[in-house]
Every structure is written in structure tokens, then in C-alpha cells.
Structure 1
């Protein structure tokens, strides 16, 4: 949740013509890929995003993030992981643009983990469940696996800057399972009401937000919102980490539901969620979205200097 008193930078002026042109290009690529059978479709999108990654700045950003948290990693290893990240991003994008197909694929996918019995018991009792996860593997795969088994799973999404692209992106989110809410105070309250009424929902917590508290992530402080823990506490919802882990074939997944995070102090709960995500990343770093500006160390340093100066007074 954003702080109501937080000053926000004015949004950069966008060009509607450029946004429209970008959206048409993206729509064309998506349409062409969806016309292919599944295996060549995923391979095409993986290759395309690997090829575009350097021009988009993704490769440099991923390598910079890797150097930030693992400074001893060789550049060749950074580059290999960055290429795997781009490949996974391309595959994930086109998978999520075929929600019906993803649900069908996940119907018979392995669903396991220490948290699964608790989720099933909560469903039987009508107790709410809040799933938490990060941009790892395909984060929609476990949701699709539950939808295929008759669950209704809501969610919260961050809108895209390009309004033309956002229109079909949001529609696609709704197509998998409603209710889905746009990130912001109104959307968060909508998700809160859905959970409080005994529903189930998903929150991704691994993005930078200046309103977050610094929690070490892979050894470096990363501002992290406490919203997921706060919602779980306010609604008495189970807080269950889940992960859609892509298998080596590049097509199939394991949907893993981990043991619920015990209720307690919100920061401690989010630290627990962060440790769960870290373990997955360390097991296979190429499946996490290193393209995100997760840490922004320069911005964090500037904010800390301002806080220090303010505390010292005139």
C-alpha cells in the first residue's frame, strides 16, 4: 500500500502514438505465437526474448543485480543466468496469454508441498487463504492448478504503463480467475474484502516499493511492503507461499505449496516469506526475474541520507 502523504514524482509524458505502435507490435507477436503448437510457441518466445534482452537493457540490468548480491560471480555466469531469465520471461508471458490452456496443462501437473493439506482444510472450513509468491518460474502456474481443481483465486496486479497494452493484460488476468484488482488503495481494499469474506487470493511481494521496510533479500536490503502479512492478520487468513517451478523441459511445472507462515509481527512474517523465495532463487537463479529493479541501492542511499539529515535537524 502506498502512503497517502508520500510525494510522488510527476509521471513522464507518454506518447499515445508510440504506446499504440508498441502495443500493436506486441499484439502481433502474441497472436503469431499463439497460432503455433505449444512446444514451438514457447521456444519461439524464449528465443525472441533472449535476442531482445540486450537491446531492452534486460541483460545489463540482470547482470548488475547479480553483481550486487553475488559480487564474486563470474561475468560468464551472470550472462548465462541473464539469458535464462529472458527465456523464462518470454515463455511465461505467452503462457499467461493462454489462460484456458494453462489451466488445462496444470490440471494434471504435480501439486505438492507441506502447505497443501492446510489449504485443502481451509477450503473445507471456509477459512480465507492468502498465497504469497514472487516472480519466479511462472507465478500463475500454481493459481491455474488450483483453478483447474475448482478453486476461485483472486489477485492484485500492477498496471502496465502503456494503457493500450494494459487493457488486454488486465483482461487476461481476469480470464484466469476473478476477482482481480488493480494495485492501489482501492484494489488492496477490494482484495481485503474478498479475503475477509472467506476467499482466496495471491500477492506478489518481490518488487521495490519506497513505502516498504528494508528487509534483506539475498544479502542486500530491499524495501518490502508488509501488506500481505497485514491482510493475513486482519482477516485471520492462512498465509501460504507457493511457487510454480519450471521443469527442465521448459514446458511443465511443479506447483509447490509450502507450509503456512505463522501469524506474528508483520515484519517477521515478511522476512519468513522472503527466506522462502531466497531458497528457490538459490536453487535455480535463472527462474527469478532479475530484470526487476529490486534493490535500487542508489535510491536507497539517497533516502537514507535525507532521513539522517532530517533526524539531525537544522
Structure 2
């Protein structure tokens, strides 16, 4: 958990509004609060915050031939998924109980089980897609020792209770930085599994591609895998049409090789699923710079 942040009025006010919204929604039954939070994020917050405009701009660059009606659908669905994901994370035991019952599907399940029984480290790679914590909760429920690396929120007030919320889904958690990295390495070396998101712009990353466009991408997952002989397994929690349940997909491990080649394969894996579920990826990100 971060130290107490210096007082910033804008951050304090933003946290007050968001925390009030979350607390109010948590008073409602789960099946009501999840779609309602999605609606509020999509219809109220996103237009004011400029999220829809950012989605449209990214789609115009990456998929310029998309019909306008499809662009507008995605511009609504992306913040809706963000809102649903947010309140699911804050729903703690209710979300975990639902995710724990999800079966694992895909060609990588057997390899994951084998690594668990052998005590071999595993890097579980995903992106800001669907709800990545659904797959983490499902794997923990199977008895896997799954840790996760996270980036602290820029708003320190919000970050404190956000970290408490994601801790309810499972621990250990490792904050990006020197101390978190040391603890994370110990976890890996002991045969643990580690969840990583790789779909953010990294200014010092390698010049790879995502959706056919230059996208600076961190090579750290591949480098860790090579150093500690860890499996690299793309894993996703795909939101289903009911808006509440998920399919947890475990893809085949990425073969070890040059870090750039391994990481490009991870980008390609995520791109393939995003193309099938365009409204579930965080097109709000400034992924291409």
C-alpha cells in the first residue's frame, strides 16, 4: 500500500465521487450493481471524461473502415465494460465466488496443471480485456499460487482502497518498482505463478506491432521467463453476452526464444481475441504513440 499522498484537491474530489458511487452501488444486489455501474460509466462518466472520443480516435487510426454505427457501439461498450470490471473488483467475495466456479478452457490448461505440480514458475500474460481478475480468481480457486504485478493509481487516495479491493481477490500483490520486483522474483523462484498485463505503451519498450501499428512493448515478461525458466501462458477472462459471467481461456504456452519474438506472439494472441470482442478491450488507452 502506498504512503499517505500529499493533499491534492482535484484527486481528493475525484476519489470522493468515485468512492461514493462505489459504496452506493455495493448496497444493491450483485446482478443489479454490475450492469448499473457499466451504464453510469458509459452514459455519464465517459462522455464527460472524453473516453468515448479517445475510443473513436483509436479506432479511426487502427480500423478506419469500420462503419460509424459499429464505432459508436464500441465507444459505448468499452466504458461499460470498464464500469462493470470496476464494481466486480470491489464486490470482493461475491465476485470471487462466481469466478471460482468457472472452468478453464483452452490448449494451455494441461501445461498449467503440469507446471503447478512440478513447481515450475509460470507467467500468466493478459491485457486490459474482459476482466483479467476473473481469470486470476479462477486460477487461485484451483489451488494455484497466483501473484500479480500492479501499477499504482496516479490518484493516491483512490489507490489505497483499490489495492485493498484487488487484495480481496487474491494475494500476493507486487507493486511495480524496486521493492515489488524483489518480492516478485522471490515468488517466481519459489515456483509461483505471476499475472502480468502487457498492453500499455512503454516508452523504453521494443518497437513491436499491435493491430499492424508500431506499439512500444515491454520485453520484461519474456526476459523473466528466460531467466527463471518459466512458462509463458496467455490467459484471458472473456465477458459473456449476459454481461455477468466469463469464459476463462488458457492458451498454449509461448515457446522460448528471442524476447522480441516471444513478446510479439503475446501481442498477436491478445489482438486475435480483441478482434473477436472489440468492445472488451480498453481502447481508451493511448496504446500507440
Shorter-chain TM-score range = over 0.9
Matches within 5 A, 1:248-287: 248-287=241-280
Q: Which residue of 2 aligns with 1:46?
A: 38
- Point out 4+ residue stretches in structure 1 off by more than 6 angstroms: none
2:119 and 2:198 mapped to 1: Cα distance?
A: 25
Matches within 5 A, 1:168-187: 168-187=161-180
1:224 shift after superposition: 0.1
Q: In structure 2, the residue corresponding to 1:28 is in which secondary structure?
A: helix
1:113 and 1:155 mapped to 2: Cα distance?
A: 21
Q: In structure 2, the residue corresponding to 1:256 is in which secondary structure?
A: strand
1:21 and 1:140 mapped to 2: Cα distance?
A: 27
2:100 and 2:151 mapped to 1: Cα distance?
A: 27
Q: In structure 1, the residue corresponding to 2:64 is in which secondary structure?
A: coil
2:102 and 2:54 mapped to 1: Cα distance?
A: 33
2:178 and 2:209 mapped to 1: Cα distance?
A: 26
1:72 shift after superposition: 1.5
Segments of 5+ residues of structure 1 without an aligned counterpart are: 1-13, 297-314
1:15 shift after superposition: 6.0
Are 1:35 and 2:27 counterparts?
A: yes
Do the aligned partners of 1:152 and 1:177 also contact (CA within 8 Å) in 2?
no
1:177 and 1:213 mapped to 2: Cα distance?
A: 31
Q: In structure 1, the residue corresponding to 2:236 is in which secondary structure?
A: strand
The two structures have a TM-score, normalised by structure 1, of 0.87
Do the aligned partners of 2:30 and 2:94 also contact (CA within 8 Å) in 1?
no
What do residues 225-266 of structure 1 show as CA deviations (whole Å, max 9, x unaligned)? 000001111111111000000000000000010000011110
Deviates more, 1:187-196 or 1:109-118: 187-196
What do residues 140-164 of structure 1 show as CA deviations (whole Å, max 9, x unaligned)? 1011001122222101111111110
Deviates more, 1:221-230 or 1:146-155: 146-155
Matches within 5 A, 1:63-74: 63-74=56-67
Q: Which residue of 2 aligns with 1:26?
A: 18
Do the aligned partners of 1:128 and 1:195 also contact (CA within 8 Å) in 2?
yes
2:69 and 2:7 mapped to 1: Cα distance?
A: 38
Do the aligned partners of 1:239 and 1:260 also contact (CA within 8 Å) in 2?
yes
1:220 and 1:186 mapped to 2: Cα distance?
A: 34
Segments of 5+ residues of structure 2 without an aligned counterpart are: 1-5
Do the aligned partners of 1:241 and 1:259 also contact (CA within 8 Å) in 2?
yes
Aligned length: 283
Matches within 5 A, 1:40-119: 40-51=32-43, 52-119=45-112
1:74 and 1:249 mapped to 2: Cα distance?
A: 25
Q: Which residue of 1 aligns with 2:3?
A: none
1:75 shift after superposition: 2.7
Q: In structure 1, the residue corresponding to 2:241 is in which secondary structure?
A: coil
Q: Which residue of 2 aligns with 1:121?
A: 114
2:50 and 2:182 mapped to 1: Cα distance?
A: 35
1:278 shift after superposition: 0.5
